[in-house]
Structure 1
Amino acid sequence: MEPIRLTQIIHVVQYLLQAALMAALVMWAGGGLNGPGAGPPPSLGPYVILAALLVLMVGSSLYTISRYLRPNLRRPSAENHRVFRSRLILRNSLLGLLALPPILLYQESGHFFDLLYYGVMFAGLVALNWPTARGYQQWLIS
């Protein structure tokens, strides 16, 4: 299998797994918060603030790490592809966190539009960040 094709498969699988995991965790946590006899449901404000802080903290860490993943023409081609995939995975993880607020809104409101927005956002991220051979070559000569 071509290395770029493998990178594209990893790209799609990562976004699918990240979307499913984020949705499952938010739904699980939300179900636990609104248990029977727990009183009125808590407000969404603190959770959105925590989600924004999480995106900032994790995002800055991932960005810092990804800055060190640079190409080296002296490395074998397979090694440069591995570094390119690693950088792509880090970037995808950071961008996937941007979809956390819509799934939190869906948990709070239950509106189908929020869930649709969550799905469209992930589909857009997959399409906008699609790895190509040309993108790999541009990264390699950067």
Structure 2
Amino acid sequence: MDTRKQKFRSLANTHSQRQISLKLKISVGSVSKILKELKLKPYKKRKNPLLTPNHVKKRYTFSQLWRKKNKIMFKNLPILFSDLKIFTVDGGLNKQNQRIYAISREEADKKGGHYGVNKNPLSVMVWIGMTEFGLTKPYFIGE
């Protein structure tokens, strides 16, 4: 195997096509041709919550209890449209930019095709609502 292709295989796990072309000092077109020759395909990283089976069980029981408890409370109130957004310190993973080149999905998973998400990252939640009487004030809820 060509030495460039060996270097290329090691770089393909962690770098984009553009970054590989800069490191090996070859064109992006050559990089894509080598990818085709090696039969490597780009796979997106998958997002998995870091939950244990105990967490899943507790979430399910809580949701069932909450539904039973609050069923009557929301019957005759005026309609409120609301929205919230959570801003976290972790940022996020841009799936369009973070690809893994591999022959199959299984191989991509072995090379780091999954990334973990913390259960409780530092975050701020912003909530705002709208009724027939107008907008509510935005509420900032910090953790």
Give the TM-score, by structure 2 length: 0.24
Larger RCO of the pair (alpha carbons < 8 Å, separation 6+): 1
Larger Rg: 2
Looking at secondary structure, tell me which structure has more helix per residue. Answer: 1
Looking at secondary structure, tell me which structure has more strand per residue. Answer: 2
Give the TM-score, by structure 1 length: 0.24
